[in-house]
Amino acid sequence: MNNIIFTHKVGDSLKEVLNHIAASEIFILADKNSAKNCLPLLPLEKVKKENIIIIEGGENNKTISTAEKIWNVLSTQGAKRNSVLINVGGGLVTDVGGFAASCFKRGTKCINIPTTLLAQVDASVGGKTGVNFNGLKNEIGTFSIPDMVIIDTCFLKSLPYRQVLSGFAEMIKHGLLLGGEHFYCIMEINPQKIDWDNFLDVIRESVSVKDKIVQQDPTEKGVRKSLNLGHTIGHALESLALERGEEFYHGEAVAYGIIAELALSVKKVGFSLAIFEEVKNYIKKYYPPCIVVENKEELYELMLHDKKNEKDGVNFTLLKEPGKFIIDNYCRREEIIEALEYCF
Q: Which is nearer to its own copies, 107 or 180 (CB)?
A: 107
Binding segment toward its own copies, per CB under 8 A, in 49-57, 71-79, 179-187, 265-273: 71-79
Question: According to the binding rule CB under 8 A, does residue 228 interact with its own copies?
Answer: no
Number of alpha carbons in the 13 Å side-chain half-sphere of residue 68:
4
Q: Does 193 bind its own copies (CB under 8 A)?
A: no
Sheet strands side by side (includes 148-151): 4-6, 148-151, 109-114, 84-89, 26-31, 52-55
Q: Residue 55 or 103: which CB sits closer to its own copies? A: 103
Q: Which residues, including other chains, have CB under 8 Å from residue 19's CB and lie 6 or more apart?
A: none
Binding its own copies (rule: CB under 8 A), the pick from 136, 154, 189, 326 is: 136
**Does 222 engage in binding with its own copies (CB under 8 A)?**
no
Interaction between residue 333 and its own copies (CB under 8 A): no
Task: Name the nearest CA neighbour of 262 among 319, 306, 209.
Answer: 319
Q: Establish if 107 lies at the interface with its own copies (CB under 8 A).
A: yes
| Residue with Cβ nearer its own copies (136 or 154) | 136
**Residue 297, interface with its own copies (CB under 8 A)?**
no
- The answer to whether 224 contacts its own copies (rule: CB under 8 A) is no
The residues pairing with 27 across neighbouring beta strands, listed in sequence order, are 85
CB of 211 to its own copies, least distance (A): 18
Among 308, 318, 335, 343, binds its own copies (CB under 8 A): 308
Task: Sort 64 into a burial class: Cβ within 10 Å, 0-12 / 13-18 / 19+.
Answer: middle
Residues touching its own copies, count (CB under 8 A): 38
In the DSSP assignment, the letter for residue 291 is P
DSSP 151: E
Neighbours of 112 (CB within 10 A): 30
Q: Least separation, in Å, of the C-beta of 106 and its own copies?
A: 5
Closest CA to 121 of 163, 159, 174: 174
Rounded-to-integer distance, Cα 235 and Cα 303, Å: 8
Contact pattern from residue 200 through residue 219 relative to its own copies, giving x for each residue in contact according to CB under 8 A and a dash for the rest: -------------------x
Residue 141 engages its own copies in binding (rule: CB under 8 A): yes
- Rounded CA-CA distance 56/71 in Å is 16
Which residues, in sequence order, are bridge partners of residue 32? none
Query: Using the rule CB under 8 A, is 106 a contact of its own copies?
Result: yes
Among positions 130, 146, 191, 251, the unique one binding its own copies when judged by CB under 8 A? 130
Could you say which DSSP state residue 342 is in? G
Q: Per rule CB under 8 A, is residue 81 in the interface with its own copies?
A: yes
Site residues for its own copies, 41-70, by CB under 8 A, read 64, 68
The Cα 94–Cα 142 span in angstroms is: 12
The footprint of its own copies (CB under 8 A) covers 24, 64, 68, 71-72, 75-76, 78, 80-82, 102-107, 128-130, 133-134, 136, 138-143, 219-220, 304-305, 307-311
